[in-house]
Chain A
Amino acid sequence: GENVEQHPSTLSVQEGDSAVIKCTYSDSASNYFPWYKQELGKGPQLIIDIRSNVGEKKDQRIAVTLNKTAKHFSLHITETQPEDSAVYFCAATLSGSARQLTFGSGTQLTVLP
């Protein structure tokens, strides 16, 4: 089955700096990679996703890159703000199949004012 490794487990950045979280996956057939953000006291919320037919996707200050050859994908947050502080989870699956998401173990991002 799929295995997803996520690094780092904790990340502190100064407000305004960029943050990068990386994930690797084991199943080369996986082709759908979402990222979820979990704020304190809330459930995870989808913030961006990417499919294997593209290498990069952006949405304002958030971007995700995918390297299918190396089987890794990354979340990039630019111009970080205090409200970006949360736990971020990556996940992977095979789109169109019945296979469910395999999640990474999460990254606690703290943006220091």
Chain B
Amino acid sequence: ETGVTQTPRHLVMGMTNKKSLKCEQHLGHNAMYWYKQSAKKPLELMFVYSLEERVENNSVPSRFSPECPNSSHLFLHLHTLQPEDSALYLCASSQGITGADTQYFGPGTRLTVL
């Protein structure tokens, strides 16, 4: 195990539903990330938090809303999603905020939007 847990592991939701993804890291890291992983495409960085402050938001639609209540927990709130949002959503954490700080990934949440 990497020390990063994600729940749920699988989620099926309709376009009008509201759901949340949860990530928890047990590594004492200061930075946390959300990535979207679609088949045959590079990992897409969505959000970066450092010490509970959002430091990067890569033009993500507002139907995705992150929340970082403390340095160990990260949420991704979902509402009125589209079928093209179906993907594996990965959470990661690292000690520092630079790209050269090793990122530890959770197992991901497989999201299907009907």
Contacts and interface: CB of A to CB of B under 8 A. Distances in A.
Contacts of B48: 100
Contact of A43 (B40, B55, B106): B106
A105 interface: yes
Q: How large is the interface on B (under 10, 10 to 19, 20 to 34, 35 or more residues)?
A: 20 to 34
Contact of B4 (A43, A101, A105): A43
Contact residue range for chain A? 20 to 34
Contacts, number: 63
Contacts of A102: 42
Interface stretch (B14-22, B60-68, B73-81, B97-105): B97-105
A93 interface: yes
Contact of A32 (B99, B105, B107): B99
B45 interface: yes
A43 B99 contact: no
B43 A96 contact: no
Interface in B1-22: 2, 4
B56 interface: yes
B100 A32 contact: yes
Interface of A: 4, 9, 32, 34, 36, 41-46, 49, 89, 91, 93-106
The 5 closest A-B pairs by CB, nearest first: A43-B105, A93-B99, A95-B100, A103-B42, A32-B100
